[in-house]
């Protein structure tokens, strides 16, 4: 047990030392900083398509390729990854992370706790190992689901603002494609996922893909129902020749009304959500504070 404690303390001290001195060691020289400022990044190239593969990335990819899924399950995972803002080619890496964590958690439990105490073959230890393996396999899926939900919420809340700016651009005389690119170049939507999807759609349109198909693909990537209705509105306006500015303004007002109704519904649910904490935590404490002195006085009277 003593060598294990020494190794643990040495590792902790080493990691703390590296964390303290890393900013100083990794600081770039003045010349390197000036050269980095001179290098320009092409805004037409989305960053998600140019991710450098590291050795760790390759290891996880090889680990994920060892498991073969059915076409339906792989397509489901791929759609979820794309909806989370990741590349569909990252599917093997995602599966590799799930496998790695399902091995890492039981391994750490075995090395740190079970083996030093000699309880590896006990039923409770085997049960903990199985639970940790399942938790390690499911944890990336939980993270991915939460990231998809957060991204969809951000797209939904930013859609009315994007539509307002798009309406102004269209009514000022710009074509739809130029208006979409103007919206994407706005600094207010610099890191907005909806602006990234619109930029990707504009690149596909300029590459020769029909606008209607590119917009439908954007709706499929985001998995947001309001984006589908927005794409349907654009398609109908283009087909029937209606005023695009008026359609965008009406759709933006409808989205703002929907967003306000969702906020009002969430506010109305607050009272119900507070009922259980009040009943189990606040009211008992109030009863103790209010009735406590009365009980002591009654005891003194009866004595």
The pLDDT profile of the chain, 303 residues, written as one tens digit per residue, is 555 555 554 565 565 666 555 555 555 555 555 555 554 444 444 444 334 567 787 888 888 888 888 888 888 888 889 888 888 888 888 988 999 999 999 888 888 888 888 877 788 888 988 999 999 999 999 999 999 999 999 998 888 888 888 888 888 888 888 888 888 888 888 788 888 888 888 888 888 888 888 888 888 888 888 888 888 888 888 788 778 888 888 888 888 888 888 888 888 888 888 888 888 888 888 888 888 787 777 777 776
Among residues 153, 223, 188, the alpha carbon closest in space to that of 231 is found at 223
Structure tokens at 274: 């507070």
The secondary structure of residue 185, as a DSSP letter, is T
The answer as to CATH 1.20.81 being correct for domain 154-266 is yes
What angle is formed at CA 112 by the lines to CA 109 and CA 116, rounded to 5 degrees? 115
What angle is formed at CA 207 by the lines to CA 205 and CA 210, rounded to 5 degrees? 40
Give the HSE-up count for residue 257: Cα atoms under 13 Å, Cβ half-sphere: 6
Structure tokens at 297: 């006085």
* Dist. CA 115–CA 93, nearest whole Å: 31
What is the pTM assigned to this prediction?
0.70
Q: Where are the domains of the chain?
A: 154-266
Alpha-carbon torsion 91, 92, 98, 100, what sign? Answer: negative
- Please report, for residues 118, 246, 285, the alpha-carbon distance to residue 290 in angstroms, rounded to integers and kept in the order given: 53, 62, 9
Task: Quote the distance between the C-alpha of residue 146 and its chain's center.
Answer: 6
Is-contact 226 159, C-beta < 8 A? yes
* Dist. CA 185–CA 195, nearest whole Å: 8
3-state SS class at 224: coil
* Dist. CA 58–CA 185, nearest whole Å: 34
């Amino acid at each position: 047990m003593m060598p294990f404690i020494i190794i643990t303390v040495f590792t902790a001290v080493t990691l703390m030392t590296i964390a303290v001195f890393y900013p100083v060691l990794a600081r770039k020289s003045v010349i390197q900083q000036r050269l980095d400022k001179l290098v320009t990044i092409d805004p037409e190239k989305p960053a998600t398509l140019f991710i450098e593969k590291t050795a760790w990335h390759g290891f996880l990819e090889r680990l994920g390729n060892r498991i073969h899924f059915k076409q339906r399950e792989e397509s489901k995972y791929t759609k979820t990854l794309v909806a989370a803002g990741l590349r569909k080619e990252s599917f093997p890496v995602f599966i590799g992370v799930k496998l790695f964590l399902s091995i890492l958690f039981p391994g750490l439990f075995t090395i740190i706790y079970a083996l030093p105490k000699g309880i590896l073959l006990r039923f409770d230890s085997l049960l903990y190992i199985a639970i940790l393996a399942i938790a390690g396999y499911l944890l990336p899926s939980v993270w991915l689901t939460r990231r998809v939900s957060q991204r969809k919420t951000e797209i939904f809340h930013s859609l009315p603002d994007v539509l307002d700016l798009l309406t102004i651009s269209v009514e000022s005389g710009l074509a739809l494609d130029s208006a979409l690119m103007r919206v994407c170049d706005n600094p207010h939507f610099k890191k907005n996922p909806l602006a990234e999807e619109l930029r990707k759609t504009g690149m596909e349109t300029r590459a020769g893909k029909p606008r209607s198909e590119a917009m439908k693909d954007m709706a499929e990537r985001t998995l947001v129902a309001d984006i589908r209705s927005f794409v349907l509105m654009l398609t109908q306006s283009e087909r029937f020749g209606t005023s695009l500015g008026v359609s965008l303004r009406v759709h933006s007002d409808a989205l703002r009304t929907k967003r306000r109704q969702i906020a009002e519904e969430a506010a109305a649910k607050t009272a119900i959500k507070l009922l259980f904490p009040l009943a189990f935590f606040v009211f008992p404490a109030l009863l103790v504070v209010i009735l406590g002195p009365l009980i002591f006085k009654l005891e003194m009277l009866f004595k």
